[in-house]
Chains A and B, each alone.
Chain A
Amino acid sequence: MKIIFINLLIIIVLPFLFIGVINKTKAFWGGRKGASIFQPYHDFIKLMKKGEVISSTTSWVFFSAPVIYLSTVIFAGLLLPIIDHTAVISFEGSFILFAYILALGKFFSIIGALDTGSSFEGMGAAREAFFTSIPEPAFFIILGSISIFAEINTFERIFGLYHAGSELSLLIVVLTVIILLVILLVEGSRIPIDDPNTHLELTMIHEVMVLDNSGPSLALIQYGAAMKMLILSSLIVNFIIPYSAGPMIHLGYFAAGITFSAITIGTIETLTARFRLVRVPDFIFTVIGMSLMVMFIILLYYYGGRR
């Protein structure tokens, strides 16, 4: 029960700290002092206090999209095992719901953007829908092949499998982490896919979709986006850190892992330029190839006479 409470706390409280660490890392690499790592909290509170301008061309879809978006992300967070491999809600096949509850949130943020009728937001929505749809098969190929071939179908046990200590697990872990990192960069709209700091509407993907949002609804969207990044990072971290340590040790590993992952993201953002938009799909498509490799490794392992 205590563990579940800690997990909830991580999902609800930590997202902005995660973003704060990324920003601090970027500032460090850029030779600047940078804002405090708690700045995103202040921004959130500031936005919550503000009024909101709502375009007269929009309908209830636009108004409700941020709320639905945030709630789907929270729900996805509840399905994800974090500390001690315990999810708040756990059942067989929960990773399918995990993926699709996030997709539902994205669907609403897309139609929310289209609802404004702005050509910018239409453009951004088209890009987001296209780019984020590419890694979706990869996610299911890796988790699906595990659950079918290894007959494991809850998140917790998937982590367990990865750390079973076989000679193949290392390979699988490396590939899976790369795949999930790309998914994280795509879903989180980070460099080299998207630039969260740009002011240029024409180059934006995620940011341009929320141009019409202001005040509390913008705060909710930013909160949701930060939480999504934290959740996906937790997924990656749980693949890397040792399995079945005690809860407190696990918590320590997790804290170190999540900090490392934030610093990694910040470093990637500083040391590479953004891809040209037309090249982005090529980059994302590579994860499907990698996920197929994972599938074949698992296939060979379980049907190759070893069992």
Chain B
Amino acid sequence: MFEWKRFNCSSLINRSEIPVVSLDDLRDDITNKVRLEDKRVLAFFGVKREEDTILYIVLGDDTISRLFIASAIFTKDIISYRSFTPEVPSLHLFEREFYEETGILPAGHPWLKPVRYGKSHRAVTGEMENYPFYSMDGEEVHEVAVGPVHAGVIEPGHFRFMCHGENVYHLEIQLGYQHRGIEKILIDKTNSASGKKIFFPQIAEKIAGDSAVAHTSVYAGVMEVLTGTAVTQKVMIIRTICLELERAAVHIGDLSAIFNDVGFLMGSSTFAALRTLIINTTLQICGSRFGMGLICAGGVNFDIGSELASKILNNVNYVQNKIEKLIPLTMLDQPSVLTRLEGTGTIDSHTARLIGMVGPAARASGVPIDIRTDYPSGMYRQYPARKVVLEKGDVFSRSYIRYVEMMHSFNYIKEQLGIIQGVQGARASSEITNRLPADSLALSMTEGWRGEIVHIAVTDSQNKLIRYKIKDPSFNNWWGLALAVRNNGVSDFPLCNKSFNLSYCGHDL
């Protein structure tokens, strides 16, 4: 056995402190920790160097708010290892990604298929154009293929349903159409600008446009940890307010979309109108409805003065009151809506934990994980957020949890607005130009509206960034969607899909 390196969220680690262990030890230990100690895999990624490949694994213990990291080294001659997935199913997509990025084969992986690259490194997974779809045989079995181009203005992704009549046996989701190489762009930009401005929020904003504030604040967190930039309390408050506004706005929009999918016009149009009020509030703060351009190095570009604060307060109060009245009217007292939502697309707590789901989708299934309360940082340390956990894991739970969470978000925003006036330090805006520290690793994470967002930066001995790993919650949850639609009607898929509302570009990077 070996000792994992323990550390906190948002702390700088020297890479020499990270234990390097043999793969067999690592496999046994991870299996034990995930199965028996309820630890979760937060990151599993390779750093490819000329001479070898390093595998980093970050586990999290939600109960004690501690992170654990260990690594393993693959020398050039090692081309495969025994897969972890059979023992730890939540690693399945991480291992596929690792294989795709490094070419080291996880032998015995049960579902080795391309993740996002158009041309994969090895012929084993097959190329994306020749994707090895799961198929079923049977007299009355039929396949329905949807996408990658969909009706409506949404992102591309291919769905293939194995159906028996109207019943879905299995859904296979093939993504990768949105792959832009955003990790590589960030690394290249940072390295070529080393010494000068090395902070690129405009790239981090585009990781997933609906989580712009969340992704950018995590990116800012990583860069601030790496360069040792301090952030004032006022900056933290403004970032947190915008993050909670983003959460509320998307949750309201999702409810509107869910009502639209069940054909309930009244709910759909009223919630859509309320969402506009919330994103317009973000517009008033930073000039962008989605919070683009808000966050800068070590600070925020826009201050919230007393006049703006009262405007925000008014909008939030108005929307909150409206929603409080509308929810019974549109959902809880509407049998025709409830019958569509209840019992549809159920994921039980065991499955959710096994496949490593995160965010509201996991909490709706009774998995109590929320980065804001489990690994509090920034304002969440002083002013704890409320964690909401529901039991059933159906579309209704995933809708209802959105309602409860947005109510908590509104309360949280109001609380923050109450203290913002007392905090001095206006808007702090300094450019990060420090050189990066050598041989270091920094991790930062937060709870976006969709779930946990984890960013990890790794530097080498020449003070260069050699790896920037982004994990969007969609990466964990797409598989949950595939399992949720099993044994449901094929016509209920859009509803299940909307209740997860996962990001394509967040997955494809």
B273 within 8 A of A: yes
Chain A positions within 8 Å of B190 at CB level: none
Q: Of the 9-residue stretches B55-63, B128-136, B137-145, B175-183, which lies at the interface with chain A? A: B137-145
Which residue numbers of B lie inside 8 Å of A, CB to CB?
142-146, 151-152, 161, 166, 259, 261-266, 268-270, 273, 334, 336-337, 339-340, 344, 489-494
Interface residues as binary, A187-208 with B (CB distance below 8 Å gives 1, 0 otherwise): 0000110010011111100000
Is the pair B269, A123 in contact by a Cβ cutoff of 8 Å? no
- Of B265, B269, B339, B491, which contacts A203 at CB under 8 A? B491
A277 within 8 A of B: yes
A32, A120, A200, A279: which has the most chain B beta carbons within 10 Å? A200
- The verdict on A30 contacting B336 (CB below 8 Å), with A120-B144, A200-B151 known, is no
Q: How far is the CA of A256 from the CA of B145 in the complex (A)?
A: 46
Contact of B494 among A192, A202, A276 (CB under 8 A): A202
A residues less than 8 Å from B166 (CB atoms): 277-278
**Among candidates A26, A271, A274, residue contacting B262 with C-beta atoms closer than 8 Å:** A274
Compute how far the CA of A10 lies from the CA of B337 in the bound complex, rounded to whole angstroms: 37
Contact check, B144 vs A273: say whether CB atoms are below 8 A apart.
no
Summed over the interface, the residue pairs from A and B with CB atoms below 8 Å come to a total of 82
Interface residues of A (CB under 8 A from B): 26, 29-32, 119-120, 122-123, 191-192, 195, 198-203, 269-279
Q: Beyond A273-B259, A275-B340, list 17 extra A-B contacts (CB 8 Å).
A: A29-B266, A31-B270, A119-B142, A119-B144, A120-B144, A198-B263, A200-B494, A202-B491, A203-B492, A273-B336, A273-B340, A274-B264, A276-B339, A276-B491, A276-B492, A277-B489, A279-B339
| Cα A195 to Cα B268 with chains together (Å) | 14
A132 CB to closest chain B CB, in angstroms? 16
State whether B144 touches A123 (Cβ < 8 A). yes
CA gap between A26 and B260 in the complex, in Å? 13
Q: Tell me whether A191 and B263 are in contact (CB under 8 A).
A: yes
Please, which residue of chain A has its CB at the minimum distance from the CB of B153?
A199
Quote the shortest CB–CB distance from A194 to chain B (angstroms): 9
Whether A30 lies near B491 (C-beta < 8 A) is no
**A277 to B491, Cβ gap below 8 A?**
yes
In angstroms, Cα B266 to Cα A117, docked, is 36
Instruction: Given A202-B490, A274-B262, A277-B491, decide whether A192 and B269 contact each other with a Cβ distance below 8 A.
Output: no
Of A26, A274, A276, chain B has the most CB atoms within 10 Å of the CB of A276
CB < 8 Å neighbour of B264 from A120, A272, A276: A272
Determine the distance from Cα of A192 to Cα of B142 in the docked complex, in whole angstroms: 27
Chain B residue, CB-CB nearest to A196: B263
What A residues does B266 contact at CB under 8 A? 29-30, 270-271
Residues of B within 8 Å of A276, CB to CB, are: 339-340, 344, 489, 491-492
B143 proximity list for chain A (CB < 8 A): 119
Q: Is the CB of A202 within 8 A of B340?
A: no
In the complex, which residue of chain A has the Cβ closest to the Cβ of B145? A119
Q: By the criterion CB–CB under 8 Å, are B337 and A273 in contact?
A: yes
Cα distance A232–B162 in the bound complex, in angstroms = 38
What is the CA–CA distance of A119 and B161 in the complex, to the nearest angstrom?
11
**How many Å lie between the Cα of A199 and that of B498 in the bound state?**
13
What residues on B are CB-neighbors of A279 within 8 Å?
339
Asked whether A123 lies within 8 Å of B490 as measured between CB atoms, the reply is yes
A267 to B142, CA, bound (A): 37
Contact in complex: B492, A277 (CB < 8 Å): yes
Whole-angstrom CA separation of A273 from B340 in the bound complex: 8
Q: B residues within 8 A CB of A277? A: 166, 489, 491-492
